[in-house]
Amino acid sequence: MSAASTQVDSPSAQIIDGKAIADRIRKEIATEVKALQEKYGKVPGLAVVLVGTKGDSATYVRMKRKACADLGIQSFSTDLPGDVSEEDLLKVVADYNANEEVHGILVQLPLPKHIDEQRILDAISLEKDVDGFHPANIGALAMRGRTPLFTSCTPKGCLELLKRSGVAISGKRAVVLGRSNIVGMPVAHLLQGEDATVTVVHSRTPDAQAICAEADILVAAIGRAEMVRGDWIKPGAAVIDVGTNPVPDASKKSGYRLVGDVAFSEAKERAGFITPVPGGVGPMTITMLLSNTVDGARRAFEKAAAAQ
Ligand SMILES: Nc1nc2c(c(=O)[nH]1)N[C@@H](CN(C=O)c1ccc(C(=O)N[C@@H](CCC(=O)O)C(=O)O)cc1)CN2
């Protein structure tokens, strides 16, 4: 028998269809919104604040507002000029904090350089922090035995994709590539909370490839186009690609296409599960925002009912 005929091809990975999973969850959320309306006569409300006109941010905000409309969530919108003062932005946040019809407040990031992002995020009421970026929510996420009021949307979406795809987490070796406050750090805490053994790899980690190659679950959130090559992947691993990096593509009307932090075509030949870009983690981010808004509204409605 020739060598060629005895070779066993490694099967291609199961593609985790984030769009399909997000659509299913959105249907569940729409049902919950209806149930809340029937029980309390009120609907959840989400305030989305956009500063400036930066292309991506404006697109994401539009998507968030449309998603609210699709699911019966009341949407509150404030669009501010890029040179708005920090004090004026704080005033908008304070008004939404005081508005009883608003159960979630989201300030689209990044903010212009002249605004202290931390000061703005800290000003959002803990009970309306649907982004889960308030230090008290992050702190609770990091502590054993504590549950944050809200978990940040992209990390929550990553975990949801793993769970709904039947990927076991407990006892597995998880590697998170990237340590941002928005994704890397919270996703590492979430995986640890599910009893994975977690390593965070970042820009100063020597031999990132060798560490990634030990991962049963690899979450790539470093923001570098196709940094993770096929030979970084442990055969059979679950690969969650959070990267959305624009690369020039003259064949596209926009002049670019999006690629992840993982070289998809190489990685899918070794991984057991893998998310595509686009259509993987991205659609889950907004879906988890809607889910957090409904959670916030439910808590507010229950509290108001108990106080009567
Ligand atoms: N306040 C916040 N700001 C930002 C967050 C956040 O969670 N809260 N996350 C990102 C951007 N973001 C949401 O705001 C976001 C990113 C990507 C997607 C998405 O659906 N991506 C699609 C591709 C869309 C496209 O073609 O452009 C995909 O990956 O399939 C949604 C939301 C930064 N700011």
CATH number at residue 202: 3.40.50.720
Do both 105 and 186 map to the same domain?
no
> Does residue 157 sit in the same domain as residue 251?
yes
Average pLDDT, integer, range 259-263: 98
pLDDT at 3: 42
Atom of ligand 1 nearest to the CA of 278: 30
| DSSP codes joined into one string, 248-280 | E-TTSTTSEEEE-SB-HHHHTTT-SEE--SSSS
- Locate the ligand 1 atom nearest the alpha carbon of residue 56 and give its number: 27
According to the model, what pLDDT value does residue 136 have?
95
Among protein residues, the one whose CA lies closest to atom 23 of ligand 1? 278
68 occurs within a structural domain: yes
Identify whether residues 160 and 279 lie together within a single domain.
yes
Length reported for the chain:
308
Using the predicted structure, report yes or no on whether residue 8 has a pLDDT greater than 70.
no
- The ligand 1 atom at the shortest distance from the C-alpha of residue 277 is 29
In this structure, the answer to whether residues 184 and 98 fall within a common structural domain is no
Give the residue numbers spanning the domain of 62. Answer: 41-128
- Is there a catalytic annotation at residue 14? no
Coil, helix or strand at residue 50: strand
Q: Are strands 173-177 and 104-107 parallel, antiparallel or unpaired?
A: unpaired
Tell whether 8 is covered by a domain.
Answer: no
CATH code at position 70: 3.40.50.10860
Same domain membership, residue 277 and residue 161? yes
Specify the amino acid at residue 53: T
Q: Which of 64, 128, 172, 234 is catalytic?
A: 64
Query: How far does residue 285's CA lie from ligand 1's centre (Å)?
Result: 6
Cα 156 to ligand 1 centroid, rounded to whole Å: 13
pLDDT at 5: 46
| Residue 154 CA, closest ligand 1 atom number | 7
Average pLDDT over residues 194-201: 98
Residues 157 and 277 in one domain: yes
CA-to-CA distance for 279 and 204, rounded, in angstroms? 30
Report if residue 164 sits inside a domain: yes
- Rounded to an integer, the average pLDDT of 21-46 is 98
pTM of the model: 0.94
- Is position 56 annotated as part of the catalytic site? no
Counting atoms of ligand 1 from 1, which one is nearest the CA of 18? 30
Average pLDDT over residues 258-275: 98
Residue-wise pLDDT for 150-168, tens only, equals 999 999 999 999 999 999 9
Nearest protein Cα to ligand 1, atom 26: 278
Return the percentage of the chain with pLDDT > 90, whole number: 94
Does a structural domain hold residue 161?
yes
Nearest CA to ligand 1 atom 11: 60
Both 157 and 221 in one domain: the answer is yes
Residue of 129, 131, 216, 241 marked catalytic? 131
The sign of the torsion formed by the CA atoms of 274, 13, 7, 4 equals negative
Across residues 105-130, what is the average pLDDT? Answer: 97
276 CA to centre of ligand 1 in angstroms? 15
Domain closes at, from 111, 128, 145: 128
Residue 55: the pLDDT is: 81
Residues 116 and 178 in one domain: no
CB atoms within 10 A of CB 308: 4
Specify if 178 maps to a domain. yes
pLDDT category, 54, cuts 50, 70, 90? Answer: confident
Per-residue pLDDT, 279:
98
Q: Are strands 45-51 and 245-248 parallel, antiparallel or unpaired?
A: unpaired
Residue 86 lies inside a defined structural domain of this protein: yes
* pLDDT value, residue 37: 98
Active site residue 308: no
The pLDDT score that the predictor gives to residue 185 is 97
pLDDT greater at residue 6 or residue 10: 10
- Total domain count for the chain? 2
**69, 171: one domain:** no
Ligand 1 center from residue 279 Cα (angstroms): 11
Arithmetic mean of pLDDT, 251-277: 97
Q: Which residues of 100-123 are buried (b: 16+ CB within 10 A; e: fewer)?
A: eebbbbbbbeebbeebebeebbeb
Residue 186: inside a domain, yes or no?
A: yes
Q: 184 and 269: one domain?
A: yes
Residues 123 and 164 placed together within one structural domain of the fold: no
* 253-280 average pLDDT score: 97
Ligand 1 first shell, C-beta below 6 A: 59-60, 106-109, 131, 153-154, 244, 258, 277-279, 282-283, 285-286
Cβ proximity of 220 and 187 under 8 Å: no
pLDDT at 173 over 80: yes
Task: Kindly state whether residues 117 and 164 are assigned to the same domain.
Answer: no
Q: How far is the CA of 170 from the centre of ligand 1 (A)?
A: 28
Query: What would the mean pLDDT of 33-43 be, rounded to a whole number?
Result: 98
**What does the pLDDT read at residue 146?**
95
For residue 297, being part of any structural domain is answered with: no
